């Protein structure tokens, strides 16, 4: 049976913040018409947050480190799937892969309770991604 009493307000807040920050980055990717958009970034951020919350429920640093390491490795495989190499257009998808990777790090940061740091990172990522679009419009 599901034990609702084990769910804390802090855990609910962490999930909500991860959803919101994943949305910010995903919105930018959707706005830029990239294949990994809002849903992907929300899911990545929230999953990383949830796994980090669970990691903190284990005793000892080693167990936590292993779970968090698993997030980083798993996201590496997900990111690799977004990178396409072709002889005509070169390598595409690196920015999308990087945005998925940083979104997972933001989720981990939220899961560890560092909300301000996670929010700062999300805003910085949004700005960096938008700057890239501005540079493309200018013609550099």
pLDDT at res. 134: 56
pLDDT reported for residue 27: 94
Point out the least confidently predicted range of 8-12, 16-20, 35-39: 35-39
Q: What is the mean pLDDT of residues 38-47?
A: 96
Count of residues in the chain: 140
Burial class (CB in 10 A: 0-12, 13-18, 19+), 98: middle
The torsion of the CA quartet 85, 130, 110, 35, rounded to 10 degrees, works out to -40
Question: pLDDT tens digit string along 76-86?
Answer: 888 888 887 65
Q: Tell whether the model's pLDDT for residue 69 goes beyond 60.
A: yes
Q: What's the burial of 44, exposed, middle or buried (CB within 10 Å: 0-12/13-18/19+)?
A: buried
Query: What is the percent of the chain with per-residue pLDDT over 90, rounded to a whole number?
Result: 51
Q: In the predicted model, what is the mean pLDDT of residues 108-132?
A: 95
Instruction: Work out the average pLDDT over 78-96.
Output: 77
pLDDT at position 137:
52
Kindly indicate the confidence band of residue 118, based on its pLDDT and cuts at 50, 70 and 90: very high
* Both structure tokens of 58: 């284990």
Strand partners, 17: none
Q: Higher model confidence: residue 6 or residue 121?
A: 121
Q: How high is the pLDDT of residue 28?
A: 93
- As a whole number, mean pLDDT of residues 83-99 equals 78
Phi, psi of 46 (to 5 degrees): -70, -40
């Amino acid at each position: 049976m599901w034990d609702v009493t084990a769910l804390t307000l802090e855990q609910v807040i962490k999930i909500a913040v991860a959803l919101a920050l994943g949305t910010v980055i995903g919105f930018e990717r959707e706005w830029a018409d990239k294949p990994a958009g809002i849903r992907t970034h929300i899911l990545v951020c929230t999953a990383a947050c949830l796994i980090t919350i669970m990691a903190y429920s284990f005793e000892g640093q080693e167990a936590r480190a292993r779970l968090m390491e698993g997030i980083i490795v798993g996201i590496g495989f997900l990111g690799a799937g977004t990178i396409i190499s072709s002889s005509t257009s070169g390598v595409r998808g690196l920015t999308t892969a990087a945005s998925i990777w940083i979104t997972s790090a933001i989720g981990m940061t939220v899961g560890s309770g560092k909300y301000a740091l996670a929010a700062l990172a999300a805003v910085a990522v949004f700005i960096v991604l938008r700057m890239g679009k501005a540079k493309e419009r200018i013609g550099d």
